[in-house]
Amino acid sequence: PSGTATGTGRGAGGGPGTVAHPGENPADGARPGTRDLLRLLRGSGRTVGAALALTVAGTALGLLQPLLTMRLIDRVSADRAVAALVVTLAALFLVQAALEAAGQYLLDVTGESVVRRLRRGLVERLLFVRLRELDGRRAGDLLSRVGTDTTMLRDMVAGSFVQLVTVTITGVGAAGLMLWIDPVMFLVVAGTLLVAAVLVAGVMAGIRTSTEQALAGVGAMTADLERALGGIRTVRAARAEHREAERIGADVDAAYTAGVRSAKLGSVVGPAMEIAVNGSFLLVLLVGAVRVSDGSMSVSELVAFLLFATYLVMPLAGLFNALSLIQRGLGSLRRIEDVLCLPVEQDPQDGAPVPLPTPAASPAASPPPPLLELRRVSFAYDDRPVLRDVSFSVPRTGLIALVGRSGAGKTTIVSLAEKFHEPDGGHVLFDGADVRGVDPRDLRARIGLVEQHAPLLYGTLRDNLVYAKPEANEREIREVLRMVNLEELVERLANGLEAEVGDRGFNLSGGERQRVAIARALLARPELVLLDEPTSQLDPINERELTDVLRDISQERALLVVAHRMSTVRAADRIVVLDEGRVGAEGTHEQLLAEDPFYRRLTTDHLTPPLGRPAPD
Ligand code: ADP
Ligand code: MG
């Protein structure tokens, strides 16, 4: 058999480098090859080597069987004792089975450890990846790479290597021995084999295509279902259940159709193999009978031949199966490496991250710099300019409000301050230090963030509160709960702080959720608190109370609040007006009302007026 030797020769070694290593990956679109597959086995080299040795030994022992059988027949026809040979044969079977089982076990374990290593690598990469990379990717798709694609690789490692090794050794060994016994007969077997190979190859190609289609169907189903369940309330409200069920059902149907097709093709493989086995058996028998009768071959040689012929044909299906597993594995590996190559936030290639100067390290002399400063910052999402030449600063204490129409770039400014994104032009300075090149975790340790759509994480209310400061004590927790007016809620809950807030936090109202997020940010007592429309879901009473709290806090800390409520805006020491990505004006509420027509329009059109006072006309 030709072509089976590829891949096995490089089996045990594994190349240098791990799959997770950034520098050397085919992120530029090159397809991963067998070499990359073998790289997966790095670290498992010894186990794989042992597994292959066991398999090789088992398979080689298998090749002895026809030879021993030949011997047995010769002895029987010569009327000599055969007991010892029978025992040897039985022992051979047992040892062979044990060797193969052990080899398979080792490979299964290797497969599992490959999956574990890849999954851990993927999880870590996804948690550290540069945030820009996650924009526009579907979570469902990323999840399936961690779940399904890694499993594909496990099956490949556990399944294909044994088959390739077995087929190669059996093929080469059996062919050699057959050639040695009778070259003419070998040609007969090789001919049948070729026909069978072509047949099976065609069928397997069809099966592979169908399997891929089935997998694509399942992928689409997962992604669609995930989105529908994520927005289940919207689905229900739009009475779109049937439509969604139909659409997702179509994905299911596609998988079904492909599955049935592959079942049809698969049902052909078995009989085709039977035909090939029996056909070659018959041919060998016929041609062999002639050759035995004219004396060019003995009966025992014929029997050995018959056994070898089945040995050769049987693993053929296994070979194609192994090849298709490898092919699918390559596809999965590509999808996995795609994620593993995503740039992380702190790329080692950019040089070691500079620690942010600590407060104590800043020179005490001269007036301290503003805590946060944007200097002529410009920023674009994929060539779509959002911020242009934005400059303003946030002093060490006080409440700065950032206002502007929806889409003006307010949340983007918050993202730049947190170093979720890097500015395209200009500088973001924290405590006088340019944050470019600074370790983002250092920076974030000194900033608290309340996101615009503040999420709750899994776990209890307490877990959520102490998320940024796990070591917070009971007194500190009570204090922030009082600040954000959540004490009452905690008392109402049966389990108090230990109440599970649910996967998506649906058992808290929007306002409660926001207040939990604010408490979470305040608990760590950061120097700067960024709040992105923190009161959008609060009722006016709560909102005014919270504004008072923010004012209090701003006596000793810096607060930057993206605000769209008048009461928060009026409480601000200074207001930065953002107009289509530029700072339009800056000042106090009164100054801006008097001087800035854009701000006046903003207050009437976009800012929610305080309770009991209608918007001025
Ligand atoms: P604001 O918070 O003031 O409402 P944002 O800063 O969220 O505005 O967004 C500013 C502009 O950038 C909007 O037009 C928005 O569509 C766009 N934008 C925001 N986030 C992204 C993103 N991740 N990718 C591409 N465009 C974005
Ligand atoms: Mg926003």
Pocket lining: 135 vs ligand 1, CB cutoff 6 Å: yes
Integer CA distances (angstroms), 598 to 20, 580, 602, 614, in order: 51, 11, 6, 19
- Considering the domain boundaries, does residue 494 fall inside one? yes
Residue 360: per-residue pLDDT: 54
- Considering the domain boundaries, does residue 226 fall inside one? yes
Tell which atom from ligand 1 comes closest to the C-alpha of 405: 3
- Considering the domain boundaries, does residue 617 fall inside one? no
| Residue of 131, 137, 381 to test ligand 1 pocket, by largest number of atoms within 8 Å of CB | 381
| Residue of 402, 405, 412, 530 to test ligand 1 pocket, by largest number of atoms within 8 Å of CB | 412
Q: Which ligand is nearest to the CA of 578?
A: 1
Pocket lining: 414 vs ligand 1, CB cutoff 6 Å: no
- Considering the domain boundaries, does residue 24 fall inside one? no
CA 592 to ligand 2 centroid distance, Å: 22
User: Model confidence over 541-594: pLDDT tens digits?
Assistant: 888 888 888 998 999 999 999 988 888 898 999 999 999 899 999 999 999 999
CA 384 to ligand 1 centroid distance, Å: 10
SS3 for 241?
helix
Tell which atom from ligand 1 comes closest to the C-alpha of 404: 3
Q: What is the ipTM of this complex?
A: 0.98
Specify the residue for token string 């597994």. 51
Same domain? For 383 and 335 the reply is no
Tell me whether strands 398-404 and 574-579 are parallel, antiparallel or unpaired: parallel
Same domain? For 383 and 325 the reply is no
Residue nearest to atom 26 of ligand 1 (CA): 381
Same domain? For 251 and 167 the reply is yes
Instruction: Name every residue whose Cβ is closer than 8 Å to that of residue 584 and which is 6 or more positions away in sequence.
Output: 404, 577, 578, 596, 598, 599
Same domain? For 380 and 333 the reply is no
Tell which atom from ligand 1 comes closest to the C-alpha of 412: 6
- Considering the domain boundaries, does residue 549 fall inside one? yes
Same domain? For 327 and 402 the reply is no
Same domain? For 244 and 195 the reply is yes
Tell which atom from ligand 1 comes closest to the C-alpha of 578: 3
CA 420 to ligand 1 centroid distance, Å: 13
Q: Can you spell out the DSSP letters for 420-471? A: SS--SEEEEEETTEE-TTB-HHHHHTTEEEE-TTPPPPSSBHHHHHTTT-TT
Residue nearest to atom 23 of ligand 1 (CA): 135
Same domain? For 312 and 409 the reply is no
Instruction: Name every residue whose Cβ is closer than 8 Å to that of residue 369 and which is 6 or more positions away in sequence.
Output: 362, 429, 431, 432
- Considering the domain boundaries, does residue 355 fall inside one? no
Tell which atom from ligand 1 comes closest to the C-alpha of 415: 6
Specify the residue for token string 């289609």. 213
Going across the sheet that includes 574-579, the strands are: 447-450, 528-532, 558-562, 398-404, 574-579, 582-587
CA dihedral (427, 432, 436, 440) positive or negative = negative
Same domain? For 385 and 273 the reply is no
569: left (phi over 0), alpha (psi -120 to 50) or beta: alpha
Tell which atom from ligand 1 comes closest to the C-alpha of 413: 6
Domain span at residue 292 reads: 34-340
Task: Give the CATH number, domain containing residue 195.
Answer: 1.20.1560.10
Tell which atom from ligand 1 comes closest to the C-alpha of 406: 4
CA 511 to ligand 1 centroid distance, Å: 23
Q: How many helices (H) and strands (E) does the chain have?
A: 22, 10
Task: Give the CATH number, domain containing residue 426.
Answer: 3.40.50.300
Contact (CB, 8 A) for 572 and 589:
yes
Same domain? For 144 and 53 the reply is yes
Contact (CB, 8 A) for 67 and 105:
no
Residue 394: per-residue pLDDT: 97
Same domain? For 383 and 333 the reply is no
* Boundary residue ending a domain (317, 340, 363): 340
Domain count, the chain: 2
Pocket lining: 110 vs ligand 1, CB cutoff 6 Å: no
Of 323, 388, 435, the residue nearest 37 (C-alpha) = 323
Query: In whole numbers, what is the pLDDT of the chain averaged over residues?
Result: 83
Question: What does DSSP assign to residue 207?
Answer: H
Residue 26: per-residue pLDDT: 38
Contact (CB, 8 A) for 154 and 344:
no
Secondary structure string (H, E, C) spanning 254-313: HHHHHHHHHHHHHHHHHHHHHHHHHHHHHHHHHHHHHHHHCCCCCHHHHHHHHHHHHHHH
Which residues have CB less than 5 Å away from ligand 2 (the ion)? 410-411, 452
Pocket lining: 514 vs ligand 1, CB cutoff 6 Å: no
Q: What are phi and psi of 355, to 5 degrees?
A: -70, 145
Residue nearest to atom 6 of ligand 1 (CA): 409
Residue nearest to atom 24 of ligand 1 (CA): 381
Pocket lining: 415 vs ligand 1, CB cutoff 6 Å: no
CA 508 to ligand 2 centroid distance, Å: 22
Mean pLDDT by 10 residues, the chain (617 residues): 33 34 41 69 85 89 88 88 89 92 92 92 91 79 85 87 81 86 85 79 80 82 86 88 94 92 82 76 87 89 84 72 79 86 74 69 70 96 93 96 93 95 94 89 92 80 90 94 90 85 68 89 93 86 86 93 88 94 93 93 75 47
* Boundary residue ending a domain (320, 340, 360): 340
- Quote the tokens at residue 383: 């060539």
Residue 15: per-residue pLDDT: 33
- Considering the domain boundaries, does residue 352 fall inside one? no
Same domain? For 331 and 449 the reply is no
Question: What does DSSP assign to residue 238?
Answer: T
Same domain? For 324 and 375 the reply is no
- Considering the domain boundaries, does residue 315 fall inside one? yes
**What is the CB neighbour count within 10 angstroms for residue 352?**
9
Residue 21: per-residue pLDDT: 39
Quick one: how far is CA 336 from the chain centroid?
7
